Amino acid sequence: MLEVRNLSKRYPGRGGIENIRFSVDRGEIVGFLGPNGAGKTTTMRMITGYLSPTEGEVRVDGQLMTEHSSKTKTQIGYLPESPPLYPEMTVEDYLRFVADLREVPVREQKHRIADVLERTGITGRERQLIRRLSKGYKQRLGLAQAILHRPDLLILDEPTTGLDPKQITEIRELIRELGEKHTVLLSTHILPEVEMICKRVLIIDRGRLVEDDRPERLARRLEQGSTLSLEVKGKPEAVQEKLLSISGVKRVDVTDSPSKERVKLLVTVQNETDLRERIFYTLAEEKMPILEMQRRDLSLEDVFLKLTTSEGGSQADA
């Protein structure tokens, strides 16, 4: 359905994306995950044809985006980070305007609009001015405009940003439903969102694709041993270095440093060895008191951290 091959976009200065490649099959809901500035929006804008790549190509159903952009665009529904809504229009007028823009035949427009209003849960608000809609309803309308021309592929850029918890739950449910009929690529930096909605996750970091797998498999594959979370009083680098010197410690990631003298870390231990006592005595000798120590299973959040924070993470020499 969607093929992204060696896609690069270089902006003047730094930033952009480098050599991104992946494909999405029909019917998949794929999460596109990455920290702020990783390159999600840049990639999505190239997939939707709004931005041209410096190198590489995008194919939708085998058709090259750059050569068949108008045909290919009709197969894509795009919800940008800020939906392109006109506040002074009513919901119905706006959807008619979008229907004209997307060349939906006039005789079909009434039926199509009623259909998308129902699917996105906006029925009854046709005459309301867009500026009077709540953020959640604006987002629903954003989704309605994205599916009005019945695209096969939906590209959603951070669709739950700025919503309250109830609206977030409703929009996620809606996306899941839309995923039954459409192929979905969903960008987010919210991990639970991916775990809840997506069967597959792509992780992008500093413009490069660093992972492509099922969320639960990623966690399992990267686990390779048990993990301890620690809070220690001491200088972050010194604590990290000391922990890495303990035989059996495979990796140490700083997850937070609330002050110059306190640090929270994630310690990955080789195999299933229980290193808690050794860690306790080693740090005690160094006058680095442990404020908290807990054994934990690796969550997708830990995986994400490991894959996307090299500043905080250090590995013991093998």
**H or E stretch at 291:** strand 290-296
One of 33, 42, 202, 306 touching ligand ATP (CB under 6 A): 42
Distance of alpha carbon 204 from alpha carbon 36, whole angstroms? 10
Distance of alpha carbon 146 from alpha carbon 78, whole angstroms? 5
One of 5, 8, 10, 16 touching ligand ATP (CB under 6 A): 16
Question: Which is nearer to ligand ATP, 51 or 244 (by Cβ)?
Answer: 51
One of 38, 130, 163, 266 touching ligand ATP (CB under 6 A): 38
Candidate ranges 36-44, 69-77, 90-98, 293-301; the one touching ligand ATP (CB under 6 A): 36-44
One of 20, 29, 30, 41 touching ligand ATP (CB under 6 A): 41
Distance of alpha carbon 237 from alpha carbon 25, whole angstroms? 44
One of 24, 40, 185, 279 touching ligand ATP (CB under 6 A): 40
Contact 85, 141 (CB under 8 A): yes
Give yes or no for residue 308 binding ligand ATP (CB under 6 A): no
Distance of alpha carbon 116 from alpha carbon 118, whole angstroms? 5
One of 4, 30, 33, 34 touching ligand ATP (CB under 6 A): 34
Q: How many residues sit in the footprint of ligand ATP (CB under 6 A)?
A: 12
Contact 19, 208 (CB under 8 A): yes
Give yes or no for residue 37 binding ligand ATP (CB under 6 A): yes
Asked whether the CA dihedral 143, 36, 56, 46 is positive or negative, the reply is: positive
Binding site for ligand ATP (CB under 6 A): 11, 15-16, 34, 36-42, 189
